[in-house]
Amino acid sequence: MGQNPFKKLERINVKIEKLAFGGAGIGYIKSEADTAKPEDAAKPMVVFVEDTVPGDEITAEIRKIKPNYLEAKLTEIVKPSAFRIEPRCKHFNICGGCSLQNLNYDEQLKIKENQVREALSHIGGIKDPPVLKIIGYTGGENGPWFYRNKMEFSFGTGGDGNATAGGNVTLGLHPKHYRYDVFQLEECFLENSDIGEMVRAIAEFMNEKDSGLLKTFTVREGKRTGERMVNLTVSDAPFLRQKEFVEMLTRSKKFKAPNSVYLTNQIIKKGHRTELIENLLFGEAFLKEKMMLQNGSTLEFEIFPQSFFQPNTLQAEILYQKVIDMGEIENGSVVYDLFCGTGTIGLFAAHRAGEVLGVDINESAIKNARANAEKNGIKNVKYYIGDVFKVITGRTDKPDVVIVDPPRAGLGDKLCGHLLEVRAPKIVYVSCNPGTLARDLKILCAGKYNLAGIQPVDMFPQTYHIETVCELKL
């Protein structure tokens, strides 16, 4: 393109065609100035506009001008999309969380499925990627709501991410694009219907008098057990109102009482790693949760304050079963579960596999994985701490299936190269980022793997996040 003909703060009319991964609406616009230069008129300019949905006809104000795209701020919805709905939560226009709440859920699913397809095609260079129909979240009578088993709320602040009790304390979530500001939460439809009442009660409690420097308040729930754990994180100064705090939480009639109450002191010293010291103030030391296997049996998990556990228990059961099915794990199979975390995928695989070897660099996660295996009486799993490919290099028990569930950044060139050296007959790749997944699949497919199937799973309704399971055959 030649010189960009658009100007900052210029008002433009746009129809939103689709959503970008991240939630912003995408439209296309061509300036009248383009017609004087045929080479400039060949391709319309891409425009990103937040707070819009596909089908919206809008006016917007240009805020950023880049060589290949514009960023604009919504000023008016001239004609709303047929897919646009009224958001359920009163905080929708402030909160940075459920950015798709104003979009019909069926349309959310179609968009996410297409985003996976487009990422694999455009970034991965995969022609006609074999993307299966996305698996949505039904949620029973609640529909696509109240699915999260963990929520962390922040205390508000004078701009440094901390709050001192006894002042004007707020407890809630961060507004869009703000790291430190916190709005007082009154309702939330992601974890449980009484969360707003609990959060408000804690803010009122902390406003009564000084109790030290407040950081966060975390609520965890067992979606299959009904248990609840809460954890108040403060600075290393003493929290003097422990007894009153526990009494307030356990005796209130406005919200469900927790089974466990923790106080965590966060100790930050320059030049040292942040230290978290957990103190159990009330109840059980862990939260019990269960997950259902396809054969009707259950796995039981003990979850501690810092344990990682998939935030959507019921949908994780479906996700993990897809991993087992795509891996075609059978009796006698040797399975490598890399980036295994607390071992949930490997434990799902264990009832079908001959042996499961789990590896993760996080010592705490491996400790938790071993405890979970022992609790469930599963003896055909072994867990190792360390760099995943250093641990498996030189092993003689070559895997039939390798399961990888890396962080959002994906595997990257080096780790994909290691996977190609292992040459397992099957790789099952679990991803939470279509962009990095597409980049990695491009490498793996160029290295003699065939992409046999891609299954998107909607783990986080009302948000732009997408989880995907991919089947690769050597």
CA distance readout (Å), 315 to 25, 142, 149, 214, 461: 27, 14, 11, 33, 11
The 8-class DSSP code of residue 284 comes to -
C-alpha–C-alpha distance, residues 287 and 259, integer Å: 8
Tokens 């998939």 locate to 310
377: burial class by Cβ within 10 Å (0-12, 13-18, 19+)?
exposed
Q: Among this protein's residues, is 95 annotated catalytic? A: no
From 188, 340, 416, 432, active-site residue: 432
C-alpha–C-alpha distance, residues 230 and 213, integer Å: 18
Report the DSSP beta bridge partners of residue 218.
Answer: 152, 231
Tokens matching residue 140: 């029973």
Grouping H, G, I as helix, E, B as strand and the rest as coil, residue 115 is: helix
Grouping H, G, I as helix, E, B as strand and the rest as coil, residue 208 is: helix
Going by C-alpha positions, the residue among 15, 14, 19, 16 that lies closest to residue 107 is 19
Tokens matching residue 115: 């985003």
How far is CA 5 from its chain centroid? 39
C-alpha–C-alpha distance, residues 350 and 343, integer Å: 10
Tokens matching residue 157: 């602040």
Strand pairing class (355-360; 381-385): parallel
- Dihedral of the CA atoms 456, 459, 460, 464 (nearest 10)? -20
C-alpha–C-alpha distance, residues 33 and 41, integer Å: 9
DSSP calls for 292-324: E-TTS-EEEEEE-TT----S-HHHHHHHHHHHH
DSSP calls for 408-425: TT--HHHHHHHHHHH--S
Tokens 């891409």 locate to 46
Residues with catalytic function: 432
